[in-house]
């Protein structure tokens, strides 16, 4: 065989067999991510981050069942306790719309009052909007909408109940719906309105107890 032909042949040959492709076994009891990561992945610092991730996943994501599918949490064994949560949102409406809201000159009406009522209604409808939320008998929903700075509306929603599960989602939903209502009321005057800063400010009650978000410097508050 000529040297050139031998070298050309070497380009397309290998002494090592190709690694067989791993096939997911649909009948296996292992979760799909376990099949793909059956051996531990150890980083350069010696930590097995896959095992840490898996432990965190199974411990903290309570809306996932043993098969890795979405599931509503069974709370019947929990005790009823006082629950409360507060969330916020900021709507950056711009200086022009800010002045229109302040002077109550938005054509649809009183923006802050309508947004307040919408936020209360939204909090009470949370279980109908968020698939795995439990329906709760809320004892209180308080929504405040205030003009802040020169171009923003700041919204806070507080929800309370006595139940087996928390009201974080009710507070977040109330703040979000109020913010969306501000946009709807004012969109004819400014399409570039921005909704931002939707977050949980604090919650209390239940096994995890009190949580408070770390304060951040914000010109809108």
Question: Please, are residues 141 and 174 in contact by the beta-carbon 8 Å criterion?
Answer: yes
Among 45, 65, 184, 218, the active-site one is 184
Note if 184 is an active site residue.
Answer: yes
Q: Which of 113, 122, 117 is nearest to 198 (CA)?
A: 122
State the Cα–Cα distance between residues 206 and 189, nearest whole angstrom.
44
Q: What is the DSSP letter of 20?
A: P
Which token pair is 57? 């996943």
136-142-147 Cα angle (round to 5) = 140
> Which residues are 147's β-sheet partners?
153
CB within 8 A of 91, min separation 6: which ones? 152, 153, 155, 179, 182, 183, 193, 194, 195, 196
H-helix or E-strand containing 176? helix 168-186
Residues taking part in catalysis: 184
């Amino acid at each position: 065989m000529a040297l050139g032909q031998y070298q050309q042949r070497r380009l397309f040959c290998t002494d090592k067999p190709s690694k067989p492709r791993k096939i997911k076994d649909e009948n296996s009891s292992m979760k799909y991510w376990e099949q793909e990561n059956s051996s531990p992945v150890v980083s350069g610092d010696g930590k097995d981050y896959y095992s840490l991730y898996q432990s965190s996943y199974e411990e903290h994501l309570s809306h996932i069942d043993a098969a890795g599918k979405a599931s509503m949490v069974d709370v019947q064994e929990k005790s009823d306790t006082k629950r409360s949560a507060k969330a916020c949102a900021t709507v950056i409406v711009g200086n022009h719309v800010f002045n229109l809201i302040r002077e109550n000159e938005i054509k649809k009406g009183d923006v802050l009052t309508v947004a307040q009522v919408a936020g209360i209604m939204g909090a009470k409808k949370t279980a109908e909007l968020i698939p795995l939320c439990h329906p709760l008998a809320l004892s209180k929903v308080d929504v405040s909408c205030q003009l802040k700075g020169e171009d923003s509306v700041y919204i806070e929603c507080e929800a309370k109940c006595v139940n087996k599960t928390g009201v974080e989602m009710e507070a977040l939903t109330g703040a979000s719906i109020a913010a969306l209502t501000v946009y709807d009321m004012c969109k004819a005057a400014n399409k570039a309105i921005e909704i931002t800063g939707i977050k949980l400010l604090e919650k209390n009650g239940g096994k995890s107890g009190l949580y408070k978000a770390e304060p951040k410097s914000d010109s809108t508050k």
